Chains A and B, each alone.
Chain A
Amino acid sequence: MKRIVAMLLSVILLVTLLAACGSDQKNDVSTPSDTSSNAASGEDDGDSSSEPAGDEEAYNVIMTVTTIGVTPPDLQLVQEEINKIALAETNTTVELLPIAITELSQKYSLMLSSGEKLDLAMSFVGLTPVSSFVSKGQIIELDDLVAQRGQDILEAEQIAMAGGYYNGKLYGVPSEEKYGRPQGMYLRADLVQKYNIDVDSIKTYEDITAMFATIKENEPDIIPLSTVGSNATTFGSVFNPLDLLGSTIASGGLLNAGQGDTAVLNVFATPAYEEHVTWMRRWYEAGYFLPDAITTSDSSVDLGKAGRAFAGLGSVEPGQVSNLSRDWGYEMVGLELVPAYATTNTYQTTMWCIPITCENPEKTMDFLNLTYKDETVVNLLSNGIEGVHYVKTDDPMIITYPEGMDLSNTGYNMPLHTYGDKMKKYAWVPTDPAVFDQLKALNAEVAANGVSKTLGYVFNADSVKSEFTAVTNVIAEYRAALETGSVDPTTALPEFISKLESAGIDKIIEENQRQLDAWLEANG
Chain B
Amino acid sequence: MHTKEDKVMQGIAHIVMAFLAICALLPFVLLIIASFTDNMTAIRNGYSFFPEQWSLDAYDYILKQWGVIGRAYGVTFLVTVSGTFLSLVITSMLGYALSRQGMPGRNVLMFFVVFTMLFNGGLVPTYYIYSNIFHIKNTIWALIVPGLLMNAFNVMLVRNYFRSNIPPALIEAAKIDGAKEFTVFFRIVLPLSLPILATIGLMSAIAYWNDWTNGLYYLTNEKLFSIQNILNKINENVNFLANNSSTLAGTVDTTSLPSGTIRMAIAVVGIVPILIAYPFFQRYFVKGITIGSVKE
Contacts and interface: CB of A to CB of B under 8 A. Distances in A.
A contacting B, Cβ–Cβ less than 8 Å = yes
Contact of B238 (A1, A69, A229, A307): A69
Contacts of A26: 138-139, 221
Interface string B228-263: 000001101111111111111111111111011000
Nearest to B249: A314
A416 interface: yes
A71 B141 CA distance: 23
A29 B236 contact: no
A416 B222 contact: no
Interface stretch (A13-21, A164-172, A365-373): A13-21
A68 B238 contact: yes
B251 A350 contact: yes
Given A11-B86, A229-B245, A233-B246, A114 B127 contact: yes
A278 B191 CA distance: 70
A442 B240 CA distance: 31
Nearest to A101: B237
Contacts of B64: 408-409
A15 B216 CA distance: 20
Interface string A105-117: 0110110011110
Interface in A460-484: none
B220 interface: yes
Interface string A284-323: 0000000000000111111101111000011100001001
Contact of B128 (A114, A233, A306, A315): A114
A346 B89 CA distance: 57
Given A4-B186, A109-B124, A299-B245, A68 B223 contact: no
Contacts of B217: 106, 110
A208 interface: no
Contact of A327 (B43, B85, B216, B255): B255
Nearest to A27: B221
A297 B235 CA distance: 11
Contacts of B82: 11-12, 14-15
Interface residues of A, number: 74
B268 interface: no
A276 interface: no
B257 A415 contact: yes
Contact of A229 (B186, B234, B243): B243
Given A110-B217, A113-B128, A299 B89 contact: no
A18 B140 contact: yes
A101 B240 contact: yes
Contacts of A109: 123-124
A415 B252 CA distance: 5
B221 A301 contact: no
A28 interface: yes
Nearest to B234: A69
B252 A1 contact: no
Nearest to A71: B222
Nearest to B67: A73
Contact of A22 (B39, B89, B140, B240): B140
Interface in B117-174: 123-124, 127-128, 131-132, 138-141, 144
B127 A297 contact: no
Nearest to B66: A70
B260 A300 contact: no
Interface string A387-405: 0000000000000000000
Most A CB within 10 A of own CB, among B82, B124, B140, B246: B246
A18 B78 contact: yes
A23 interface: yes
A276 B123 CA distance: 43
Interface in A401-452: 407-409, 413, 415-418
Interface residues of B, number: 61
Nearest to A19: B140
Most B CB within 10 A of own CB, among A8, A27, A101, A314: A101
Given A22-B224, A29-B220, A110-B127, A68 B257 contact: yes
B256 A320 contact: no
B15 interface: no
A229 B242 contact: yes
Given A22-B140, A29-B222, A320-B250, A11 B132 contact: no
B40 interface: yes
Interface in B250-287: 250-257, 259-260
B216 A103 contact: yes
A69 B75 CA distance: 19
A453 interface: no
A11 B237 contact: no
A97 B221 CA distance: 10
A25 interface: yes
Contacts of A71: 222
A14 B78 contact: yes
Interface string B24-42: 0000000000000001100
B124 A113 contact: yes
B290 interface: no
A499 interface: no
Nearest to B183: A1
Given A11-B81, A15-B78, A326-B255, A306 B241 contact: no
A203 to B, nearest CB: 22
Nearest to B216: A103
A68 B256 contact: yes
B44 interface: yes
A298 B217 CA distance: 29
Contacts of A416: 251-253
Contacts of B86: 11
A419 to B, nearest CB: 11
Given A14-B78, A125-B247, 16 more contacts: A8-B85, A11-B82, A15-B82, A15-B140, A19-B139, A22-B224, A28-B138, A28-B221, A68-B238, A102-B240, A109-B123, A126-B247, A229-B245, A231-B246, A306-B44, A314-B246
Interface of A: 1, 4, 7-8, 11-12, 14-15, 18-19, 22-23, 25-29, 68-71, 97, 100-103, 106-107, 109-110, 113-116, 125-126, 178, 181, 221, 227-233, 297-303, 305-308, 313-315, 320, 323, 326-327, 349-350, 407-409, 413, 415-418
Closest 9 pairs (CB-CB, A-B): A69-B233, A306-B43, A299-B242, A69-B237, A415-B253, A69-B234, A28-B220, A301-B254, A306-B40
Interface of B: 39-40, 43-44, 61, 64-65, 75, 78, 81-82, 85-86, 89, 123-124, 127-128, 131-132, 138-141, 144, 183, 186-187, 216-217, 220-224, 233-234, 236-257, 259-260
21 contacts: A19-B140, A19-B141, A22-B224, A23-B139, A29-B220, A70-B233, A101-B237, A106-B217, A125-B247, A126-B244, A126-B247, A178-B250, A229-B243, A229-B246, A297-B260, A301-B254, A303-B43, A305-B43, A307-B44, A315-B249, A327-B254
